[in-house]
Amino acid sequence: MLDLKYLRQNYQEVKEKLQHRGEDLTDLDHFEEWDQKRRQYIQESEELKARRNEVSKEISVLKKEKKDADHLIKEMREVGDRIKEIDEQLKSVEEKLNELLLSIPNIPHESTPIGESEDDNIEVRKWGDVRQFNFEEKPHWDVATDLGILDFERASKVTGSRFVFYKGIGARLERALINFMMDYQVDEHGYEEMMPPQIVNRDSLTGTGQLPKFAEDVFKLEDWDYFLIPTAEVPVTNYHRDEILTADDMPKKFAAYSANFRSEAGSAGRDTRGLIRQHQFNKIELVHLAIPEESYDTLEELTGHAEKILQLLKLPYRVMSMCTGDLGFTAAKKYDIEVWIPSNNTYREISSCSNFEDFQARRAGLRFRRDPNSKPEFVHTLNGSGLAVGRTVAAILENYQEADGSLTIPEVLRPYMGNRERIEPK
RNA sequence: GGAGAAGUACCCAAGUGGCUGAAGGGGCUCCCCUGCUAAGGGAGUAGGUCGUUAUGCGGCGCGAGGGUUCGAAUCCCUCCUUCUCCGCCA
């Protein structure tokens, strides 16, 4: 959410900057009208309320002195009716204004490249050497099925498409990755570990920006105003919602494991096979609450923390800076980390690291005080995957497959896998 | 799920319609006393937000949202949270 006053004072400039995002901004045309009406109603209503407060005191005095106050009471009855009328109009215009503010995307940071689509994203760096196979490499779902460690067919029976069973050593691999990633972020990068609720309410999803605009992307519980989390970003960022932190509390760094649930509305037919696009997947999420002037340094640090996991797993990747047209609703700047997937002959997103500046903080009421006497300011929020576990499994299956159908286990995972070095086909 | 109780400022807490636009404590800040410490004495201690071309004025605020009333922390309704007992349950 943008600041009302900022938007009022920089209306044209904001409008221009948002145009680079390629979003429909026709609602924005109402802003000036509604903003003005709102302030007009507030003024009228408050004048009458001030008058009512004053006269109510007079009435109280008169009554004590046993004097007649009927004419004042009658007048105040009319004033009260008028206040009610104005407040109703005020409420209606505030609702519209609020809805508008909630639907305006964040302003891209000046370092975000301007562009229309993913083709305009810019490669920032590349790490690792892509393996040259001396046999025909298989897609990860074939590797996994031949190893007997993933079962997509039965998951379809039990639930439906885009779900999977991890079996035996496959389940162990997934769990090893979760533990390895979490241990590393906590022990080496100083994150505080969190296990959040995986169901959240409407306010939380509004706080991080999934609602109201992207309701179709999340699963909602029937008969409840509760939703399955699409990412741990939602509960963890909302952890301090409507709080004022002290400077001593800052910055905050949380690492959270959770399952993630996404409806994948609108992506029918894409990545229908394998682990890349599931309705449910595991992820370690890194969340920062940063002091505003530090947040862009934090974004680099956070991205580095995610990259480190891929380096330790020896999986080749590249880092892309998302252009204005591919930025997402809430981010001011975003890096995607993409891992090499041999069967696709390309890099695929495995982590997304964003700085939202104060966009989420304003929605969620996340503030801090620099010192005990200063005014509260909005924090900057950031998050990034460290990493998406299912896609990491896919990358390992493809990059570590051997000609005989076996799989080499990345060295750093072996302590988590009973010191196994490989998985043999059934 | 059933029955009951409670939510007041940093904390505890008084308060059933109008000098409470929130008593009193504790804590915290400052001052006095004091060789130091302790004890004692005094003063201060809503914050936030919104409106207003404003070193000021005003609106809102007692869990949240409605309602009654000239006037609500106080009366009514709905909801949320916490606690106790019972039931059920991993």
**pLDDT for position A396:** 98
A44-53, A87-96, A246-255, A411-420, range with greatest mean pLDDT: A411-420
pLDDT band with cut points at 50, 70 and 90 for residue A334: very high
Concerning whether A277 is annotated as a catalytic residue, the answer is yes
Q: How far: A37 CA to B51 C1' (Å)?
A: 12
* Chain segment A258-310, per-residue pLDDT in tens: 999 999 988 888 898 999 999 999 999 999 999 999 999 999 999 999 999 99
**Which residue, counting CA atoms, is nearest to the C1' of nucleotide B19?**
A61
User: Does residue A422 lie within 7 Å of nucleic acid chain B, judged by its CB?
Assistant: no
Concerning whether A349 is annotated as a catalytic residue, the answer is yes
Instruction: Measuring from the CA of residue A53 to each C1' atom, give the nucleotide at the shortest distance.
Output: B71
User: Does residue A77 lie within 7 Å of nucleic acid chain B, judged by its CB?
Assistant: yes
Looking at per-residue confidence, does A71 or A374 come out higher? A71
Catalytic residue among A45, A258, A343, A352: A352
pLDDT (average), residues A94-106: 91
Q: How far: A360 CA to B6 C1' (Å)?
A: 34
- CA A193, CA A186: separation in Å to the nearest integer? 7
**pLDDT for position A110:** 95
Concerning whether A21 is annotated as a catalytic residue, the answer is no
**pLDDT for position A22:** 85
pLDDT (average), residues A246-261: 92
Mean of the per-residue pLDDT values of chain A: 93
- CA A66, CA A309: separation in Å to the nearest integer? 81
pLDDT (average), residues A11-34: 89
DSSP string of A32-51, one letter each residue? HHHHHHHHHHHHHHHHHHHH
pLDDT band with cut points at 50, 70 and 90 for residue A421: very high
**pLDDT for position A57:** 85
Go through the domains of chain A in sequence order and give each one's CATH number: 4-103 (1.10.287.40), 118-423 (3.30.930.10)
**pLDDT for position A269:** 86
Give first-to-last CA distance, chain A, whole Å.
Answer: 53
Q: How far: A344 CA to B47 C1' (Å)?
A: 57
pLDDT band with cut points at 50, 70 and 90 for residue A237: very high
User: Does residue A194 lie within 7 Å of nucleic acid chain B, judged by its CB?
Assistant: no
What residues are paired with A289 via a beta bridge? Answer: A252, A381
Structure tokens at A135: 């046999």
* Chain segment A163-182, per-residue pLDDT in tens: 999 999 999 999 999 999 99
- CA A105, CA A112: separation in Å to the nearest integer? 14
Q: Is the pLDDT of residue A376 over 90?
A: no
Q: In whole angstroms, how far apart are CA A106 and each of A51, A95, A173, A300, A354? A: 41, 20, 38, 20, 12
Residues A145, A150, A151, A155, CA torsion sign: negative
pLDDT (average), residues A77-89: 90
User: Does residue A134 lie within 7 Å of nucleic acid chain B, judged by its CB?
Assistant: no
Enclosing H/E stretch for A7: helix A4-9
Structure tokens at A412: 């750093």
Q: Is the pLDDT of residue A137 over 80?
A: yes
**pLDDT for position A62:** 87
**pLDDT for position A317:** 98
Is the preceding omega at residue A212 within 30 degrees of 0, hence cis? Answer: yes
**pLDDT for position A106:** 95
Catalytic residue among A204, A348, A391, A398: A391
pLDDT (average), residues A119-148: 95
Phi, psi of A241 (to 5 degrees): -55, 140
A94 is in an annotated binding site: no
Give the type of residue at A228: L
Q: How far: A56 CA to B24 C1' (Å)?
A: 28
> What torsion, rounded to 10 degrees, do the Cα atoms A91, A95, A101, A102 define?
140
* Chain segment A101-129, per-residue pLDDT in tens: 999 999 999 999 999 999 999 999 999 99
Structure tokens at A326: 């591919």
Q: Which residue has the tokens 């380096």?
A: A311
**pLDDT for position A223:** 82
